[in-house]
Amino acid sequence: MAGEMSSSPAIMGLMTAGAVIIGFYVYRTMILSKPFPGIPYNKRAATHPLGDIPEMMNYVTRTKRIFCWLTSLATRHQSAIVQAFIKPASLHWVVLTDPFESQDILLRRTKEFDRNSFFGELIGGILPEQHI
């Protein structure tokens, strides 16, 4: 009887530890979004829970510019289209820096692409009549 009592807390401890590990794994896989194949991105950001936020904040602290970081990301990957992991536990951004493609999408192919409301909300107070 004494043997059963002493092993019960040990079993409960192992079960709790197992549940915590499984819960952490599930939480981590839910937070990390899967990158689109063929579009360049920061490899480290795809596996980090905060994504590109630490690198972006470092850039903003150094340069005092936020949107230039997206351009620098495209330049670093030598591609007109890149992926950025900015908002944890949400979809990543696909950033297009080619002005001709951007114009084509915004003017002629609007139904093929989603337009995130984030940028409109971000600068809506400054430019209430903007069309981003």
**DSSP letter for each residue of 44-110:** HHHHSTTTTHHHHHHHHHHHS-SHHHHHHHHHHHT-SEEEE--STTSPPEEEE--HHHHHHHHHH-G
pLDDT tens digits along 93-112: 888 888 898 888 878 887 77
User: Taken in order 74, 79, 81, 87, is the CA torsion positive or negative?
Assistant: negative
pLDDT digits (tens, 9 = 90+) for 1-23: 455 555 688 888 888 988 888 88
The pLDDT value recorded for residue 59 is 92
pLDDT of residue 62: 93
- Position 50 pLDDT exceeds 70: yes
Residue 119: pLDDT band with limits 50, 70, 90: low
